[in-house]
Amino acid sequence: MYQLLKEPIKYRLYEGDEFSTPLATLVDDYGSIVHIDEDDHCFVLVHMQEDGFGKWANHWFQEAVDVLKTLSLYSQKEQGS
């Protein structure tokens, strides 16, 4: 089961990419990490790979959907905080 972290963890999609601070980070009991972020005013789910880089996920699991319901695209990230 995934749990929401109090503070999101920065991540990169590709080597050489700048680090991004997601809107939310969730971790499970086995150490899997996923981030909820935004791209072009849409929410995306990013699953961290073993190589340390993120990959956009095709499927959303229930815990991520529950967190998504609490987010707004006009979050602190978009307001520049």
> Is 12 inside a domain boundary?
yes
> Is 38 inside a domain boundary?
yes
pLDDT in tens, 23-57: 999 999 999 999 999 998 899 999 999 999 999 99
Give pLDDT, residue 74: 54
**What is the C-alpha separation between 77 and 81, in angstroms, rounded?**
6
> Is 43 inside a domain boundary?
yes
Give pLDDT, residue 76: 52
Alpha carbon dihedral 40, 17, 27, 30, in 10-degree steps, equals 140
Q: CB-based contacts of 15: which residues, under 8 Å, 6+ apart?
A: 53
Domain of residue 53, residue span:
3-68
Q: What is the pTM of this model?
A: 0.85
Number of domains in the chain: 1
> Is 29 inside a domain boundary?
yes
Give pLDDT, residue 62: 95
> Is 73 inside a domain boundary?
no
